[in-house]
Structures are given as C-alpha cells and as structure tokens.
Chains A and B, each alone.
Chain A
Amino acid sequence: MTRTNVLLVAKREMLQILKMRSFWLTLLILPVALALGPLLGDTLENRDPTRVTIVDRSGGARGAAIEAQFTFDEKRRLLSQLSRYVRRHELQNADPKAPWAQEGQWYGPADIAAFEAAGGLKAALARIARVRPEGVPGFEAAKPDYSFSPPPPALASAPETSFEQTARRFLADEKGDTAPEIVVLVPEAYPADTRVAIYSADDVRTSFVGKLQEVLTADLRMGLLAQSGVTGERAVLVQTIAPTIAIDTPPPGGGAAAKTFVRSIVPLALAYILMMSLMLSGSWMLQGSVEERSNKLIESLLACISPEELMYGKLLGGLAVGLMMITVWAGCAGIAAFATQGAIADFIRPALEPVSSPGIIAAILFFFIAGYIAISAIFVAIGSMADSMSEAQGFMMPVLLLILLPITFLLQAIIAGNNGPIVQILTWVPLWTPFAVLARLGQGIATWELIGTGVLLVVSITAELVLIARLFRASLLATGQRPTLGKVLERLRRSGNSA
C-alpha cells in the first residue's frame, strides 16, 4: 500500500464532496441557524405585557391596591435582575450602598422605596455606566408581566347583570393593541359580596390569581381586624409582618448544577458535532462509493490501486471533510465570540475551562478522529455493498438507528447530570466510546478511564478495519449480488479470494 495513492484517493474524495451543493448548504446551515436561533428566541420570548383592566365598583381603593401590588412586585423583580447583573459583572463599586449592590437580599418595601428615591432604574444605570468596563454588555430590563389601564367608559358603566357580555365584547376585540386581555370586576357590594370576577380571553396564570387573592384577602382581613378593634398601625403590622429572608446563592452560573451544565456545554457540543458531521460526511462518502459501483468504475480503479488504498483514501477524505466542517464551525463560533465579546465570551470562558488543558485537547482530538474513523468505516463498507443509493439507504437506516439512539439517551443523561450505569456502559462500548467520552469531559472523567477506553477503541478500530477491508475487497466486484447477512459474514471471514 502506498501513501501517495491513499492521498490521491483522499484528495479526490474531498474535492468531490466540496463540489456538492449540499456540502456548502449544510456547512452554512449550522452557523446561520445558530445566529438566527437567539434572534428567533428573542422574538419568541419578547412577549408584551398582558393588559389588565380593573373595574372597581366598591370605591376604587381595592383596584388601586391590586395595581400597586403588581407594580411593587415588578419593581422587586427588576431590582433583583439588576442585582444579578451587577454581581455577574462585578460592578458593585458603582454605588456600594445601593440596594442592587447588596448581595443575597430579598428586597422589601424599604429597598424598593430607597431604589425609587435614588432615581430608579435610570439613575442606577447612569451610575453603573460610569464604572462599566468596555466589552461588558449593558443591562436590559425584562418587560413587566402585566400593564394596567383604566376601563373604557362603556365597560366602566356596564350594568353588573350584563357585565359579562360587555366584557367579552372588549376581550374579543383582538385587533386593537389597547383592548384589555383580562378584566377584573370588584362588585359594588364588595366586601359584603366577596365574589370577584375575572374575565379573560385566554388562560389566566395562577400567579395572577394568587396575587389578586393575596391583595383582596389582606383587605378582607383589615376589615375583620377593624371590626375586632385592631386598627391603624397595629392592623397594618398584623398584615405586613414577615421575616427578613436572606438568600445565599452562588454568583450567577456558579451553582453546582449550573456549573456542571456550563462545563458540559462544549463537550456535549463536541459530541453533537461529531455525530452531525459523521452523518453528513458519511452520507457523502456513501454517495461516492455507490457512484463507483453503479458507474462500473471499480475495476478501472482496482487495476491501479489496491482495495485497501481505496478504502483508506476514502476514510481519510471523509475525515478531512469532517475536520474541515468542524474547523469552519469552530471559526464561526470564534468570530461570534469575538464580535459579541462580552455576552458570549463571558459565557464561553467557564464553558471552555474543562477542555482547555493540553491533555484534554489531545484526548478530544484522539476521540474525535477515532470516532470518525470507526463510524466512517461502517459507511464505506455499506457503500461497497450497495449498487444504488436507495439500496445503500436501506442498509443505512438500521445502522444509523443502532448508532444514534443510544447516543441520544447518552447525551440526555449527561445533560441531566446523570452519570449512572448506562453512561458507564456506553463509555466502554467502542461504537459509542467517542461520543460518551467527549460528552463526559465536562463532568470530569478519570484518567484511567480515558486511557482504558482509548486503548480499547484503538484495538477495536484495528479489528474493524481488518474485517471491513475484507468485506470491502470481497464486495467491490460483486455487483448485482444482494448481500444477505450470510454473504456478509462469509466475506468478513475470508481473506484470500481476491487481492
């Protein structure tokens, strides 16, 4: 076997794949999808606040209290988000005494009042901007869940007997961006009549009903306390007394589960990319092999080179294409990280941590290339047996299922932080070793296990190549013969019938 011939075949295979439109499309689809993903995600998540109208016929105080409670909770959420942003980017020195610079606090009315008194979000962002280093992204406040608006006159004046019909008419007006989506009616007889009605065009969130009930219950209790002679500050104290809760959480992304997840992102992505590029280049390699058989090219080729040279050339060509795809994808990721510096780079840094030592990089390269060879060899063998693409796909389906299904379970288990016996077993089965090892790098994998699985993988690939070379050799010229399982096994056994 000569290296020149293997390289010549590999180069031709590579150029053939590079000439395919499907190659360039798939090469570009992943970066484009990744670029569009966040945009689409933003669009999908960019929900406008739900518009709420309260018709309070009991005097107006209860409606105002409900709105005030929702507004307070939104402000607490905003303060909490700002605090997390400040901690993530270590910007506490913008105003160390401000509530958003305090760690581990469940914000109460006093904190919200202090935040508002200091100028609210606008003033806080102005202070933060003074110390924010270049590259740190600005704070983006999430939209509130609910917005409140006064009831339209027709609704406000609708008699209670026909209120539901009137409310439904407003709710049904889907064209307008101002029509209420939830209408709350506090009846005139409240609190003697405690029935509060909610009309909605859609399902009402439990949190909305819960909060509404909380405010109205407090109101009812105030009434009962007053009847019992407890009034003024005492009554308010009974209503509002609550423990001060301190919450100690790790910095954003620093929790155990979050940490494992972040550390597993790059390894899992590597396993996914290995799987995807294998499926793609495998299918192209298959097309090439089938073309050689169906176009009766094989005999001309075998007059010049040995079946082994042809097989290894195909494997090398497929590997080169796979590595090229991954380099382009990694390059796109690098460009994206560079272009968006702060956000992605900040996220990528901890994600790259488990895969940044030279030993682990070497292990990644080894398992990636070994995985590529192990699976591509199967595709080459299938290509050598099939006379047409449809016949090849008939062989491919069961093989793909056999390879992919356990990998899907494996990756899901690793995402869930599960490192149980199935993950362990798949790590030691050579067909799935590369995927399991790559995916587990984030969780941490013992050195002995890396070496052990690596050695087992090399031994298995060697045996696989010997067997597949026999099958390849015996199948090449056997056109028109349907390769039954018996025939395949026979071809795997014999080695001397053809050269």
Chain B
Amino acid sequence: MSVLEIRHLVKRFDQLLAVDDLSFSVGAGEIFGFLGGNGAGKTTTLRMVLDILRPTSGSIALFGDAPSRRVASRIGFLPEERGLYSGMSAIETIVYFGRLKGLDEGLARRRGLALLERFELAERAKSRIGDMSKGMAQKVQLATALVNEPDLLMLDEPFSGLDPVNQGLLEEEILSASRRGAAVIFSTHVMQHAERLCDRLLLLRKGRKRFEGTIDEARAQLPARLSAVAKHDLSGLPGVSGAAPSPTDDPEWREWSLQLAPGVDPAQVLEHCTANGIALRRWDQHQASLHDVFVQLVGPEEIKP
C-alpha cells in the first residue's frame, strides 16, 4: 500500500489554478523529489496533504485514509518558511511539537535530546531559539519534524538557506529516514540534491505534472548527444535525427555531432556502426542532465544554480 496516493488533484484559488489534475503516489522507504519552479504548486500540494488546505477536487489518500489531523502523529513536516518561538528553548520547542504529535513528554524529551546530540547541539538544548544562529535554529526545526519518527516525512525546500555542512547533515537524515522505512517527499529546485537523493521524482509546472519517474527515465526524456570521429557520413545512420560534420586535422576523418531521435539508445547506433564496418576513431556519449531536463520541461527561468 502506498503511503501517499494522490488522484486527479485540483486546487483553485479564485481565478488561479494552483494545482491541475495532479496524480502520483509515494511508497514506504521511497525518496520522492517534488520538483518545480516558484508557483508551480508544490507547497499548495503539500498543504493539501497536511489538511491545511482542502482540494477543489480529486482525492488524497494518506496511509489509506483521507488527510486529517488524526494522522499528524505519523507525519513529519518541515515548511519552506521556517520559524520557531524565539522565547522557547531548543528542547522545549522539540518537546512541544512532539507532544502536539501525540508523544508523551518523557519520550519527546529523550528523542529531542538524542536529535540535538546528533545535530551537535546538545550543549545548546536549553538555549533560547532567539539566542541561536539561523543555522542552529534550522536544525532545531528539523528536529521538530523528526521527533515523532514519522512514516511520511515531507520537506518543503529543505536545503534553502543551509550551509554545505548542514546540507550534508540533512541529506544524511533523509537517507536515514528512508532506510528506516519512511516515505520522504521533498520539494526543491536545486537539481544536485534531487540527483543525489531521489528514487523517483515529479516535475511540476504551473500546477500540472510534466514528468514522473526515476532519474534515468527523466534523463531519457531528452535525446542523448553524441560526438564521433569517422570517415563515413554518419547522417544516414538509423536513429540519428541530425548530424553536423566539422573538419579535423586529418582530411580523411571528420568529427560528427549527432542528434538522436527521442528514445533511441546510443548503444544501438554504436552496435550498428560496428556491425557494418563503419570505422570510428572516437565515440563520446553525452547523457542529458537533470538540469537539462528541468530546463526543458519546466523552463529555464525556474532553475537555481
């Protein structure tokens, strides 16, 4: 059974269609990337999963049931806009959120202290949030999302504002939650994190799904680019949709920049050359990056370096 299953979800705010017929599912132990630019509908979707917003139409099944606060104890959530009560101490804050998620005070405190230990903040357990640096406060907020050891961890732009060390720590926490069997959904528009972490991902543009699948499947969305040095004219090879030659130092050999038709495996083209005695001096294969896929499907204006 999927931890989260969304079917034909629509959310409309007056004239604005924020989420448009969105369907996807996430299973236990899976790390699911929710990718899209600003205003793509990521946060709105997560808010609907959390029952903060109600869908205009469509359905959401969370652990097999409609979203409600009853399942809040099984969810961990890190919002994009982060903040905590500045007057409360780190451990008080974690215990408060733990208790709101149904933990008893003792257990929440033990887990809170263990998390602070793991985040190298044990000595600051009793410090007021207002006295902490932004990075420390963000780690405390991550601890509030993890204190209930959630079965579904949802992180909205979790890497924004974190330094490289803390980004590494967060990646480790995501992997650790997944190893524990939790489904992890995180939204981002930083492709490197998605490439490193995601089992599957979904690309969203203006509320509509543009792609859902694995990283490799995403890359395969764009035709691979090849460059080869050959004596023969390579423009007529099967699967090649475009070929541009350029001269080399040796007048007999030419360098070809090849464009493959979508879905054509470069290995098939190489095999064809070998089988047909087409001599090759060089064969370079350039697989499309997730960045390229994102730019192609979502738009270049939406990407962050």
B86 touches A5 (CB 8 A): no
Interface string of B43-75 (1 = CB under 8 A from A): 000010011111000000000000101001001
Q: Would A303 and B96 count as touching, CB distance under 8 A?
A: no
Chain A residues with Cβ under 8 A from B83's Cβ? Answer: 294-297, 300
Chain B residue at smallest Cβ distance from A305: B100
* Distance of A485 from chain B, by nearest CB (Å): 18
Docked-complex contact B85 and A295, CB < 8 angstroms: yes
CB within 8 Å for A299 and B81 given contacts A8-B100, A304-B101, A497-B54: yes
* A474 smallest CB distance to B (angstroms): 11
Contact A304 B69 (CB under 8 A): yes
Give the docked Cα–Cα distance between A296 and B138 (Å): 12
A16 touches B54 (CB 8 A): no
Chain A, 50-86, contact with B by CB distance < 8 Å: what is the 0/1 string?
A: 0000000000000000000000000000000000000
Q: Which residues of B are found within 8 Å of A2, using beta-carbon distances?
A: 69
Residues of A within 8 A of B101 (CB): 304
User: A5-B100, A12-B96 are known contacts. Are A303 and B75 too (CB-CB below 8 A)?
Assistant: yes
Q: Is A19 an interface residue (CB 8 A)?
A: yes
Q: Assess whether A16 is in contact with B87, with CB atoms less than 8 Å apart.
A: yes
In the bound complex, residues from chain B placing their C-beta under 8 Å from that of A303 are: 50, 52, 72, 75, 77, 79
What 1/0 mask marks residues of chain B from 1 to 20 whose CB sits below 8 Å from any chain A CB? 00000000000000000000
Q: Given A291-B85, A306-B69, answer yes or no on A300-B141 (Cβ-Cβ < 8 Å).
A: yes
Give the CA-CA distance A302 to B75 in the complex, in Å.
Answer: 12
Chain A residue numbers with a CB within 8 Å of B52 are: 299, 302-303, 477, 498-499
Query: Does A496 sit within 8 A of B, measured CB to CB?
Result: yes
Cα distance, A16 to B87, chains bound together (Å): 7
B97 within 8 A of A: yes
* Pair A498/B72 contact, Cβ less than 8 Å: no
- The reply to whether B81 and A296 form a contact with Cβ atoms under 8 Å apart is yes
Across the interface, B79 reaches (CB within 8 A) one of A19, A299, A496, namely A299
Place the interface of chain B in its size category: 20 to 34
From 1 to 25 in chain A, residues with beta carbon under 8 angstroms from any chain B beta carbon are 2, 5, 8, 12, 16, 19
Chain B residues near A8: list those with CB within 8 A: 96, 99-100
Residues in A with CB closer than 8 Å to B75 are 303
Cβ < 8 Å to B, chain A residues 354-400: none
Closest to A490 in B: B14
Max chain B CB contacts within 10 Å: which of A8, A305, A477, A499? A499
CB distance from B16 to the nearest CB of A (A): 13
Asked whether A300 and B79 contact (CB < 8 A) given A295-B84, A305-B72, the answer is yes
Q: How far is the CA of A42 from the CA of B101 in the complex (A)?
A: 58
Asked whether B144 is an interface residue with its Cβ less than 8 Å from the other chain, the reply is yes
A297 to B79, CA, bound (A): 9
> Distance in Å from the Cβ of A448 to the closest Cβ of chain B?
43
Query: Which residue of the partner chain B has the closest CB to A301?
Result: B100
Most chain B C-beta atoms within 10 Å of own C-beta, residue among A5, A299, A301, A303 = A303
Contacts A304-B97, A305-B100; A496 near B54 (Cβ below 8 A): yes
- Closest Cβ–Cβ distance, residue A261 to chain B (whole Å): 45
Asked if B179 is at the interface of the complex by the 8 Å CB criterion, the answer is no
B82 on the A face (CB < 8 A): yes
Are the CB atoms of B87 and A296 closer together than 8 Å?
no
In angstroms, Cα B215 to Cα A90, docked, is 98
Within 8 A of B (CB), among A259-314: 291-292, 294-297, 299-306, 309
Chain A residues, Cβ within 8 Å of B86: 291, 295
Q: What is the CA–CA distance of A291 and B84 in the complex, to the nearest angstrom?
A: 9
Within 8 A of A (CB), among B88-142: 88, 96-97, 99-101, 141
A498 touches B69 (CB 8 A): no
Q: Which residue of A lies closest to B77 (CB)?
A: A303
Minimum CB–CB distance from B185 to chain A (whole Å) comes to 13
Q: How near does chain B come to A150, taking the closest CB pair, in angstroms?
A: 71
CA distance A2 to B87 in the complex (A): 26
Contact partners of B96 in chain A: CB under 8 A: 8, 12
For this complex, 5 residue pairs linking A to B, each with C-beta atoms less than 8 Å apart, are: A16-B88, A295-B85, A303-B79, A499-B51, A499-B52
Chain B interface residues toward A at CB < 8 A: 47, 50-54, 67, 69, 72, 75, 77-79, 81-88, 96-97, 99-101, 141, 144
Footprint of B on A, CB under 8 Å?
2, 5, 8, 12, 16, 19, 291-292, 294-297, 299-306, 309, 477, 496-499
15 extra interchain contacts, Cβ-Cβ under 8 A, other than A300-B79, A300-B144, A306-B69?
A8-B96, A16-B88, A292-B85, A295-B85, A297-B85, A299-B47, A299-B77, A299-B79, A300-B77, A303-B75, A305-B72, A305-B100, A498-B53, A499-B51, A499-B67
Nearest 8 A-B pairs (CB), nearest first?
A295-B83, A296-B81, A296-B83, A304-B100, A299-B79, A303-B77, A499-B51, A302-B52
